Amino acid sequence: MDIPIPADGKISKECKVTIHYEADNENYVGFWGSVLIGEDSAVRGAVAQNRSVILCGAIIGVATLLLFLLICILKRSFSFIPQLLFATGIFCALFSTYMLFGFTTVPYLCSAIRRFSVGFLLFASALYLPKKVGKIPVLYPTSAVAVAATVLAFVTPFCTSILAYYLLCYVYMALAFACVVVVLGFTLLDVYKGKPLGLRLNTVITGVSVVMALFADKPVPFIMLSPAFWLYLVELGITFALGLREFITAEIHNRYLTTNLEKEVMRQTQNLQNILAERDNILLYVSHDMKRTVVGMNESLTDLRQNLSKPELISKVDYLLQRNSELKKDFADLGKYGKQNYVAEQSETVNLSEIVQKVTGDLRPDCEANGIILTVTLPETLKVYAKKLALESVIQNLVLNAIEHSYCSHLSVTAAKRKGICRLDIVDDGQGITTDKDVFAPFVSGNPSENNSGLGLFLAKNAIETMHGELTYARKDNRTIFSATLPLA
């Protein structure tokens, strides 16, 4: 617009220039701003400078946004989502301002995005709030209010009625101001309690910038004079610096792990071996020292029985002798478990058929002495990936349990390949286990009348699981079935 200027270059006080923004049908426009007065080249230069400065800020904003997006993807973490939202909000604010400082065919949309970015930053700040204070929810209600304020801020530029425009503006301002009070209050409270300001510094800057946008959003002819612009740049700088620090820290940590991976694995392995060794020492101590006590009790009970004449007393002593014998066996199992250290034993390729033949061959005389018919059905060679000593102990434990406690007449041991694994079945036609509890739990007795402490099955299951197998129990067609699965070699 050309304005006549006197020869002396001065404009009188009476000279006023008014620019009216109008739209069709006398609808409310809502645009307002400052007027630059000067020569055409100077005005155009000032506008171009404004756009260049804002564009630089927008570029920094999108760079920060991409940086935090990359950090979130690399670390597979949502902990940096607030910072990602901060960068997104600032970019939207600066880019929409850049568009409004020049020629645009969508001014209402740019204005809506500019106001939307303020509410968006407020929502990002609300994510730092605690979920609850006592029984009072804080995070979700405040976030909901921030979202409502953001939606209203986006809608207001499209209002064609002056009354509706100002009504929505007042509601939006009230909701936004309430969120600012809550966010700043909890941030200051956290700092007062000694928590580091760190990433929460952005919430303070956001609170100040939102208050300025609500109550002091006066347009300025030069963007360099806008406090909100500098607040956005400071917030971007803080966000970018924190993001860069986290990225560098993660990269240093990853390089350390890559360089020292072997040492780290050896250190963790050594720690695990120390824990296992300590556990084995405890097991050996318990099994050795307490077994001596049990043996001494057995001798005393035997002497006592020889000097008794009453049948009821003899019966009680016999019960104590039986219980004592079972305890001695349990302590022997613990000692064996601690000595052989099945957990630390390395898995290898073994012939399951040979191990089963060896164990059943050793126990066949016990079967014959108890009138049990033992049948073994195995392929000539059946290679599995297992721990040899542990596997021998498990098979021996299961077969001995059937011989000593099941009161069976037939006992079979079979093994075969099934669906990519090896399955070993030990089946007897005895009375089965009469407890409703987990038979593999420690100190669970399979037969309440015997009061057995039940450590054998617990240790057997643990040993099978260290070979990446599974030990199960079933009672079907009056038969007791223990099944162990092992990976094929």
Residue 377 has a pLDDT of 92
Split at pLDDT 50, 70, 90, the class of 38 is low
Of the CATH numbers 3.40.50.300, 3.40.30.10, 3.40.640.10, 3.30.565.10, which one belongs to the domain with range 344-489?
Answer: 3.30.565.10
Among residues 237, 180, 240, which one has the least CA distance to residue 206?
A: 180
Cα 426 to Cα 167, 393, 396, 484: the distances in Å are 82, 14, 11, 9
Q: Is the pLDDT reported for residue 354 higher than 60?
A: yes
Residue 357 has a pLDDT of 92
Domain ranges of the chain: 24-259, 283-341, 344-489
Q: Is the pLDDT reported for residue 59 higher than 50?
A: yes
Split at pLDDT 50, 70, 90, the class of 450 is very low
pLDDT in tens, 285-308: 566 556 666 667 777 777 777 777
Among residues 454, 474, 340, which one has the least CA distance to residue 397?
A: 454
Residue 478 has a pLDDT of 87
Q: Region 59-64: what's the mean pLDDT?
A: 83
Q: Is the pLDDT reported for residue 387 higher than 80?
A: yes
Report the relative pairing of strands 421-428 and 479-487 from DSSP bridges. Answer: antiparallel
Instruction: Provide the percentage of residues in the chain whose pLDDT is more than 90.
Output: 12
Tokens 């580091």, located at residue: 196
Q: Is the pLDDT reported for residue 69 higher than 50?
A: yes
pLDDT in tens, 327-340: 777 766 666 665 55
- Indicate the DSSP class of residue 225: G
Residue 226 has a pLDDT of 78
- Indicate the DSSP class of residue 480: E
Let me know: does 387 contact 345? Beta carbons within 8 Å. yes
Among residues 419, 418, 351, which one has the least CA distance to residue 391?
A: 351
CA 463, CA 342: separation in Å to the nearest integer? 6
The answer to whether the Cα torsion of 17, 22, 27, 32 is positive or negative is: negative
Q: Is the pLDDT reported for residue 437 higher than 50?
A: yes
Give Dmax (Cα) for the chain.
142
pLDDT in tens, 358-377: 999 989 988 998 899 999 99
Residue 281 has a pLDDT of 63
Q: Is the pLDDT reported for residue 451 higher than 50?
A: no
Split at pLDDT 50, 70, 90, the class of 248 is confident
Residue 376 has a pLDDT of 92
Cα 303 to Cα 149, 289, 298, 325, 391: the distances in Å are 90, 22, 9, 15, 39
Residue 235 has a pLDDT of 81
Q: Region 126-136: what's the mean pLDDT?
A: 85
Split at pLDDT 50, 70, 90, the class of 445 is low
CATH placement of domain 24-259: 1.20.1070
CA 439, CA 10: separation in Å to the nearest integer? 103
Lowest mean pLDDT among 11-25, 67-81, 378-392, 427-441: 11-25
Q: Region 133-158: what's the mean pLDDT?
A: 88
Q: How far is CA 265 from the centre of its chain?
A: 22
Split at pLDDT 50, 70, 90, the class of 472 is very high
Q: Is the pLDDT reported for residue 452 higher than 50?
A: no
Q: Region 410-415: what's the mean pLDDT?
A: 93
Higher pLDDT, 177 or 213: 177
Let me know: does 481 contact 439? Beta carbons within 8 Å. no
What is the average pLDDT value for the chain, to the nearest integer? Answer: 78
Residue 218 has a pLDDT of 67
pLDDT in tens, 261-281: 777 777 777 777 776 666 666
* Token representation of residue 89: 């909000």
Among residues 438, 424, 429, which one has the least CA distance to residue 396?
A: 424
